[in-house]
Amino acid sequence: MKRPLLRRSRADMEPVHQVGIDQADDAQIDGDLSATPGGAASALRNRAFRSVWFGTFASNVGTWMQNVALGVFAYQLTHSPTYVALLGFAQLGPLFLLSIVGGAMADVVDRKKLLIGCQVEQLVFSLVLAWAASRSHPSTALVFFCVLAIGIGNALNAPAFTAVLPTLVPRRDLPGAVSLQSVQMNLSRVIGPAIGGLLLPFVAAWGIFTINAATYGFAILVIARVALPRRDDAAVAARSGSGVARLLGGLTVARRDPLVRYCLVTIFSLSFFCLPFIGLMPVIAAEDLHINPAGAVYGGLYALFGLGAALGAISVGTVFVNIPRTVLIRLGLLGFGCALAAFGLLANIWFAYPMVLLVGFAYFVTVTSLSTALQAHIADEVRGRVMALWIMGFGGTVPIGLLVAGALATATTVRAVVLGGALIALIIGTISWVRAPAAGDEAVPAG
């Protein structure tokens, strides 16, 4: 039996979007979210949505190009896994520390001004970083503080962008917009490193940083030319509460809503325990696979991870569209754990190539399923704050785990860290298969 899942705003308490719910006994999270045929294509027919989506996609790809170049640059500069992890923390750590602030701002201030201001700040510090990296003896402290400044701008920008995209389409196109937003969030994280890994041998790290600065300029131009929907910020702020209550609105929703809580706990766990292998990829390449992390062979490794991830993300809305989200998440977790364990045991780059493709595929089947379920479920009035928590888990928790993993890799081996992450993924997958919370019918508003 199926029943409607309603999304209500406080303004009119009318259903925004109805999605059928699979009431099979074992559908415990979001196998209930069926695809809307043509939804993505319909959303892209909206000019404002299309412009902002592609413009900010380019900016996000540039950011992740910079991330992979930073890892290689840091390793070549210091040959220290700890410094590699430290730069990863500077870039993504603010997502963990400041995303809640960015989410609260996204729900109560002028989002267009916030987006442009954050993009300008990141552009400026990316250029300073490029200058610092081009010097014959780069300052490790200056590099760190430039990366930290860029990370702060990204942390404040991400929730606002997440909250803006669904408002650029009519209600009937909301499912397609949410799906494409999820795809962008996931694919930029892998397409960027893949391109960066391929370009790095030819343009050096400072060249990648300069390219990233240019992508911010493109995003600024696009956002400035698009008329975002007007809203009464004072009324929104009043509905959102004040002070700590407004800041922690996303946590209130997560506490009350089992589906939101399940998605967030799962992504936080994966990011902390299992994802540090991405940041330590230069160390894996040098110490386990015995290849040059600045060479084209290493770029191919990252490119295949990106290809696998892209295929995994896209497959959720195409070939796997009729498979319940519950099944995709469970199988994705177990497949990711097995593939990551196999990758961690390999010492030959030619065997590592197909295996890292499987790692990317399984991971992004899992993450895209979780993200799509979450975004279709939450109410618009708390979207910025709830998605700020997702961003904290998806990106902000990774550098925290990376700091721990970097220290463990220095004390033991990077292979031990990768295998430990694989074991945790298998445990999370097993727990997900045995026990998961029931999904409620309706998104729970804050306050």
Q: pLDDT (tens digit, 9 = 90+) per residue, 87-100?
A: 877 877 787 778 77
Lowest mean pLDDT among 29-38, 319-328, 390-399, 429-438: 29-38
pLDDT value at position 136? 85
pLDDT value at position 179? 65
pLDDT value at position 28? 36
Ranges 17-31, 154-168, 398-412, most confident: 398-412
Mean pLDDT for 37-64 is: 77
Mean pLDDT for 7-16 is: 37
Residue (of 84, 109, 15) closest to 410 by Cα position: 84
**What values do phi and psi take at 4, rounded to 5?**
-75, 145
pLDDT value at position 446? 43
Q: Quote the CA–CA distance of 405 and 410 in Å, as a whole number.
A: 8
pLDDT value at position 149? 93
Please name the CATH architecture into which domain 39-434 falls: Up-down Bundle (1.20)
Indicate whether 58 pLDDT > 70.
yes
pLDDT value at position 142? 93
Q: pLDDT-based confidence at 341, cuts 50/70/90?
A: very high
pLDDT value at position 247? 60
Instruction: Summarize pLDDT for 188-218 with one digit per residue, the tens.
Output: 766 787 788 788 888 888 999 999 999 898 8
Q: Quote the CA–CA distance of 409 and 340 in Å, as a whole number.
A: 16
pLDDT value at position 245? 58
Q: pLDDT-based confidence at 38, cuts 50/70/90?
A: very low
Per the CB < 8 A criterion, the answer to whether 216 and 161 are in contact is no
Q: Which residues are CB-neighbours of 274 under 8 A, at least 6 positions away?
A: 336, 337, 340, 421, 422, 424, 425, 428
Q: Quote the CA–CA distance of 251 and 239 in Å, as a whole number.
A: 16
Q: Quote the CA–CA distance of 96 and 390 in Å, as a whole number.
A: 10
Q: Which residues are CB-neighbours of 222 under 8 A, at least 6 positions away?
A: 51, 52, 54, 55, 56
* Residue with more model confidence, 283 or 246: 283
Lowest mean pLDDT among 14-18, 152-156, 338-342: 14-18
Per the CB < 8 A criterion, the answer to whether 297 and 308 are in contact is no
Q: pLDDT-based confidence at 353, cuts 50/70/90?
A: very high
Q: Quote the CA–CA distance of 163 and 319 in Å, as a whole number.
A: 28
Per the CB < 8 A criterion, the answer to whether 228 and 167 are in contact is yes
Q: pLDDT-based confidence at 50, cuts 50/70/90?
A: confident
Structural tokens at position 152? 């702060």
Average pLDDT, the chain: 77
Structural tokens at position 11? 């303004």
C-beta pairs of 224-232 under 8 Å, 24+ apart in sequence: 224/116, 225/51, 226/48, 226/51, 226/52, 226/168, 227/48, 228/48, 228/111, 228/112, 228/164, 228/167, 228/168, 229/167, 229/168
Q: pLDDT-based confidence at 426, cuts 50/70/90?
A: very high
- Domain residue ranges of the chain, discontinuous segments joined by +: 39-434
Q: How many CB atoms lie within 10 A of CB 377?
A: 28
Q: pLDDT-based confidence at 148, cuts 50/70/90?
A: very high
Ranges 121-125, 389-393, 396-400, most confident: 121-125
Mean pLDDT for 224-241 is: 61
Place of tokens 């380019």: 58
Pure H helices in 257-396? 258-273, 276-279, 281-287, 296-316, 325-345, 349-377, 383-391
SS3 4: strand
- Identity at 142, one-letter amino acid code: L
Q: Quote the CA–CA distance of 163 and 101 in Å, as a whole number.
A: 14
Q: pLDDT-based confidence at 226, cuts 50/70/90?
A: confident
pLDDT value at position 319? 77
Q: How many CB atoms lie within 10 A of CB 411?
A: 10
Place of tokens 């001004």: 113
